[in-house]
Structure 1
Amino acid sequence: MTMTYPGVTSMLAVRGGETVLEWYEEGTEADVLRELRSMTKVVTTTLIGIAMAEGYLRSVEQPVAEFFPGYEADVTLRELLTMTSGIDFDDRQIPELLGTEPNWTDVMLRQRVDAEKGFRYKAVDMHLLSVILTKVTGRNALKYAEEKLFGPLGIETCFWPCDPQGHSNGSTGLKMTTGDLAKLGRLFLQKGRWDGKQVVPEAWVEQATMAQSGHDPRFGTYGYAWWVAEEGFMAAGAAGQYLRILPGQDLTLVVTSDPQRGSHETVGLLQELLERVGA
């Protein structure tokens, strides 16, 4: 199966809380931290939902300008969550600008905001959400997650890089084990509950996994960093990183790939996994 999709490093399928398929690339084990790439974004948006429930944020309509004195652009939290902020910052600028700039946030806030806003997949929106988390909670996204999300799920080991100011990279870079990533999927499948506790508000889970903005023919319609399709929802990362949740089948699928060898074409492996587990 994996020969057709080069670079795949792990596969996991969990149904009803029971593992029904598990595979790791030769030479690796279950405890290896896998690079999530853009699947990092669903952790960032989830933390925003938790922070809102705790009263750190008022609503998704809250203006971003409230968190950055002097910032005058008309952008809301909802627009960051759905990547419809209009902030004109191409991800291809990141290595050049952010690689040498001492303050990523200042660079992002200096960018022009398009008058006609629309969906545009980019890193800046998610990183600004991470910065806002730090501002309102007094902890960066990793520290906040360790207390409010990773802790309740029993996730003990991960890696999440920071910008020069100590803000967790809200868009990419998070590393977790395959099993811990499956826990995040199960949490959303269970409408935010884990071991009898409401870790993420159910209303937030519904909003996050609802079609909100742009569409991609491979993945579906964008929610709050989740891609939403008729049969379920999915987080996706560059070079073949996938977390797919199928509520109707009580099924969570995880596929990770080597970022240097993987491909988005690996999305086809998800269907093969469904056939393998009899879904």
Structure 2
Amino acid sequence: MKDSFRDVLGVSRMITRRLFNGFLVAGLAPPITMPARSQTGAGVEEAIAPLDQLYSIQIQRGNEVLLAQAPRGPGLDRVANIKSCSKSIVALILGTCIARNEIPSVDARLVDVAPDLVPQDATDGVSEITMEHLVSLTAGLEATSGGNYGGWIASANWVSDVLTRPIVAEPGSRMIYSTGSTHVLGAALTQASGETLLDLARDRLGRPMGFEIPPWSRDPQGFYLGGNEMALTPRAMLAIALMMRDGGRYDGDQIVPTDWIEASVVPRARSPYSGMDYEYGWFITETGYILARGFGGQVIAAHPDADLAVAITSDPTRPANSEGYFGDLVSLLDGPVLDLARQG
């Protein structure tokens, strides 16, 4: 069992604390292209030209937007399905619930936080699953993603379906990518706080940071889907990236506790697909990005050392594998985007 986030603060101080004078997200607008300092963004523009899945990209260093373009798709001010970037948002909400003592710690067991969620026929071992196991995708239960996803969402009770699946790995031992784990976490946050996941996202992230979050899919019991289908504007995605870059602060306000952000970049598992380290809802790249990743190529990325925040949206109907389009996006972040950050 790993230590709670309060015990790992000395392990990683990767997040710096900067203030950002942000902007409120605008209302709906037609698709747009907004170059900023295009003369210095030539390398990025050249790199994205052949990426026909890419809808939008924004790059900010410090308080300066270096590039903001939406060559395809609905633009920067209309909501996009952020797919599994939702998992990273749910992870942030968990941090706020712990800070408010709605959940005692990341080590709290699901059966103690939300006993009503655990069915009588739950798989042996479910009683030992903690909030940390769920948020780090190390619960050990059979995955509900990939080929199992359709059957899972067709079930009568999504939470019970997850918790009655076989345990295929010891909890905490390895990452099993499963939207069901994050969905159970989101339902537990609802039970512990008394607020829906939508209200939690709006009250603790959206309103304090000045952006809207529309309702999204719910399960048959009324729990909002944790880990998929949330929608944000690309500008809101950039605001989240800035908040991650700046240690949980946005426009001078502490949105998510700094200690939770710091704990969120301590490696706890490794993706069997990309090889990236995975922490509390966020990937960490070898070059220092804190990364949320969604199907199709949705990306929220922060690079504290380079003072960078990046948001990318892509066609949500087309896959983005680590060896394919997502790999192209990682190469874009590691190459032209970091090069752009070093200019000036």
Q: Does residue 1:178 correspond to 2:234, yes or no?
A: yes
Q: Does residue 1:95 correspond to 2:95, yes or no?
A: no
CA distance in 1, matches of 2:149, 2:220: 14
Q: How many residues align?
A: 278
Does the CA contact (< 8 Å) of 2:54 and 2:72 recur in 1?
Answer: no
User: How far apart are residue 261 of structure 1 and its match?
Assistant: 3.6
CA distance in 1, matches of 2:250, 2:96: 14
- Aligned-residue Cα RMSD (Å) equals 2.0
What's the counterpart of residue 100 of structure 2? Answer: 54
User: How far apart are residue 115 of structure 1 and its match?
Assistant: 5.3
What's the counterpart of residue 269 of structure 1? Answer: 332
Cα deviations by residue, 1:86-144 (Å, 9 ceiling, x for unpaired):
11134122212322x22211211211223534211111111111000110111111111
| Residue range with higher mean Cα deviation, 205-214 or 60-69 | 60-69
Aligned AA for 1:51?
C
CA distance in 2, matches of 1:172, 1:27: 20
Aligned AA for 1:161?
S
Aligned AA for 2:252?
G
User: How far apart are residue 262 of structure 1 and its match?
Assistant: 5.5
Larger radius of gyration: 2
TM-score (norm 2): 0.75
Question: CA, structure 1 residues 200+23, in 2 after alignment: closer, same or farther (shift >3 Å)?
Answer: same
Matches within 5 A, 1:1-279: 1-26=47-72, 28-66=74-112, 67-69=114-116, 70=120, 71=122, 73=126, 74-91=128-145, 92-99=147-154, 101-114=155-168, 116-117=170-171, 118-215=174-271, 218=274, 220-230=276-286, 231-261=288-318, 263=320, 264-267=326-329, 268-270=331-333, 271-278=335-342
Does the CA contact (< 8 Å) of 1:34 and 1:175 recur in 2?
Answer: yes
Aligned AA for 1:68?
P
What SS does the corresponding residue of 2:262 show, helix, strand or coil? helix
User: How far apart are residue 216 of structure 1 and its match?
Assistant: 5.4
What SS does the corresponding residue of 1:37 show, helix, strand or coil? coil
| Ranges in structure 1 where 5+ consecutive residues have no aligned partner | none
Aligned AA for 2:149?
I
Cα deviations by residue, 1:147-195 (Å, 9 ceiling, x for unpaired):
1111100012444322222212111101111110010111111111123
**Is the strand fraction higher in 1 or 2?**
1
CA distance in 2, matches of 1:194, 1:232: 18
Does the CA contact (< 8 Å) of 1:219 and 1:227 recur in 2?
Answer: no
Does the CA contact (< 8 Å) of 2:217 and 2:229 recur in 1?
Answer: yes
Does the CA contact (< 8 Å) of 1:47 and 1:145 recur in 2?
Answer: yes
